[in-house]
């Protein structure tokens, strides 16, 4: 298993500002992902955080809005840029330990409110 720590756990931000969310894993992991969960909705995959290279974004998500870093195998950040109230969501970090298995572990999430 993997223990995932996300910081901050929640924040209230002004529109037009940016917030960087950190994801720290207690062991080296193969794959890291970022999800968004809008109020009352299911999870939507934002991107795959690739170690040492640019993240792979899903349709509807772009690097300028959600820049992602992954400097090593245990850490990643997601920035929500130029925020608007529509960005109010829970952002979740997820990891997989193996490529032959789709068992994933999730952080507790960062609850973001944009005012």
Partner 1 sequence: DAKTTQPTSMDCAEGRAANLPCNHSTISGNEYVYWYRQIHSQGPQYIIHGLKNNETNEMASLIITEDRKSSTLILPHATLRDTAVYYCIVVVTGANSKLTFGKGITLSVRP
Binding mask 86-105 for partner 1 (x = CB under 8 A): ------x-x----xxxxxxx
| Interaction mask 22-61, partner 1, x per CB under 8 A | ---------x-x-x------xxxx--x-------------
**Smallest distance from partner 1 to CB 108, Å:** 5
- Nearest approach in angstroms of CB 41 to partner 1 is 8
What gap in Å lies between CA 55 and CA 89, rounded to an integer? 21
CB–CB of 2/95 below 8 Å?
A: yes
**What is the closest distance, in whole angstroms, from the C-beta atom of residue 79 to partner 1 in the complex?**
20
DSSP SS3 for 97: coil
Tell me which H or E stretch contains 4: strand 4-7
Classify 95 as helix, strand or coil: strand
83, two tokens: 């925020």
The residues that touch partner 1, with contacts defined as CB under 8 A, are 4, 31, 33, 35, 42-45, 48, 92, 94, 99-109
């Amino acid at each position: 298993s993997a223990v995932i720590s996300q910081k901050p756990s929640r924040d209230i931000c002004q529109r037009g500002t940016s917030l960087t969310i950190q994801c720290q894993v207690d062991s080296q992991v193969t794959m890291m992902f970022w999800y968004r969960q809008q109020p009352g909705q299911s999870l939507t995959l934002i991107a795959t955080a690739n170690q040492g290279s640019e993240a792979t974004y899903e349709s509807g998500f772009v690097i300028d809005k959600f820049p992602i870093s992954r400097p090593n195998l245990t850490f990643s950040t997601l920035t929500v840029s130029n925020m608007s109230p529509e960005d109010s969501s829970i952002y979740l970090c997820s990891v997989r330990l193996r490529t032959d298995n789709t068992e994933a572990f999730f952080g507790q999430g960062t609850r973001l409110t944009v005012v």
